[in-house]
Amino acid sequence: MRLLLWDIDGTLLYSGGVAGEAMRAAMTTLFGQPSSNDRREYAGKTDQQIIIETNPHLTPAYIADQLDTFAAAYMAELDTRRDEMAARGRVLAGVHAALAHYQQRPDVRQSVLTGNMQAVAAMKLELTNLLPYIDMQVGAYGSDHAKRVELPRFALERMHRLTPHALTGSDIVIIGDTPNDISCGKAHGARTVAVATGPFSVSDLAAHQPDAVLADLSDLDAVIAAIG
């Protein structure tokens, strides 16, 4: 059994800036100031880490206590922007075919490893009609830990609780569009597949030595070969 963990933003979908706008609005409402608008500055970071870095005057413990409230505010903002998301956002090339292929594989379970909090991740996938492909019970989320490098162990723990399969890091494949996706996978012995559909180029990502690099997910045969 293998566990595929897909990043969401920049890998499976692009919100057209709507999600970023919603997040910054929620942060302003709850914490008094928004995060940066620079995609490269926060790409690959968890929502929790972004809030901590944006609000150094607040303790991480206080921010952790506010995460559920923040998630509710964020989702409320996204809900009011559903039409904008539909108009400006898109599922990235090849995503439906790749997810559908692995959904049919009995030796594979697929979920997400994302900086989004779990409820926000589910809403983004629901808004883009990707949720039916994803097993949200065995993923890892920005609500689990502030540091992305810690997230794979949460996915493994959930997999151990919910299935009879005793997986290790080497049974995981992490697919994402940032250097942080690569480094978090390497820290746990996972296979890493980098996709240059976010703010980093193929050469940017290759410099971090993932197991495979793709320009995008449009070639299903190339995706299957990269995932291994």
- Provide the 8-state DSSP code for 228: -
Q: Are residues 125 and 192 in the same domain?
A: yes
Q: Are residues 127 and 213 in the same domain?
A: yes
Domain count, the chain: 2
- Asked if the model's pLDDT at residue 192 lies above 70, the reply is yes
Where is the domain boundary, 71, 87, 103? Answer: 87
Q: What is the CATH number of the domain that holds 33?
A: 1.10.150
Share of the chain above pLDDT 90, in %: 68
Where is the domain boundary, 43, 63, 87? Answer: 87
Q: Are residues 65 and 141 in the same domain?
A: no
Q: Are residues 140 and 199 in the same domain?
A: yes
Q: If you average pLDDT over residues 84-107, what whole number do you get? A: 95
- Say what the pLDDT of residue 225 is: 98
Q: Are residues 150 and 217 in the same domain?
A: yes
Q: Is the pTM of this model over 0.75?
A: yes
Q: What is the β-pairing status of strands 13-14 and 172-176?
A: unpaired
Q: Are residues 149 and 223 in the same domain?
A: yes
Residues 8, 176: Cα–Cα separation, whole Å: 8
- Say what the pLDDT of residue 36 is: 63
- Say what the pLDDT of residue 32 is: 82
- Say what the pLDDT of residue 85 is: 85
Contact (CB, 8 A) for 47 and 144: no
Strand partners, 195: 214
Where is the domain boundary, 87, 118, 139? Answer: 87
Instruction: Tell how many helices (H) and how many strands (E) occur in the chain.
Output: 12, 7
Q: What is the CATH number of the domain that holds 181?
A: 3.40.50.1000
- Say what the pLDDT of residue 164 is: 83
Residues 89, 196: Cα–Cα separation, whole Å: 17
Q: Which of 50 and 218 is assigned the larger pLDDT? A: 218
Q: Are residues 80 and 29 in the same domain?
A: yes
Q: Are residues 181 and 216 in the same domain?
A: yes
User: If we measure between CA atoms, which residue out of 152, 144, 142, 90 comes closest to residue 115?
Assistant: 142
Q: Are residues 81 and 96 in the same domain?
A: no
Going by C-beta distance under 8 Å and a sequence separation of 6 or more, which residues neighbour residue 162?
Answer: 137, 138
Q: If you average pLDDT over residues 88-93, what whole number do you get? A: 94
Contact (CB, 8 A) for 10 and 18: no
Q: Are residues 24 and 94 in the same domain?
A: no
Contact (CB, 8 A) for 60 and 52: yes
Q: In this structure, what token pair is assigned to residue 174? A: 């992490």
| Domain coverage including residue 176 | 2-14+90-227
Q: Are residues 77 and 103 in the same domain?
A: no
Q: Are residues 66 and 132 in the same domain?
A: no
Q: In degrees rounded to 5, what are phi and psi of residue 143?
A: -80, -10
Angle, helix 179-186 to helix 151-162, in steps of 10 degrees = 60
Query: What is the greatest pairwise CA distance in the chain?
Result: 49
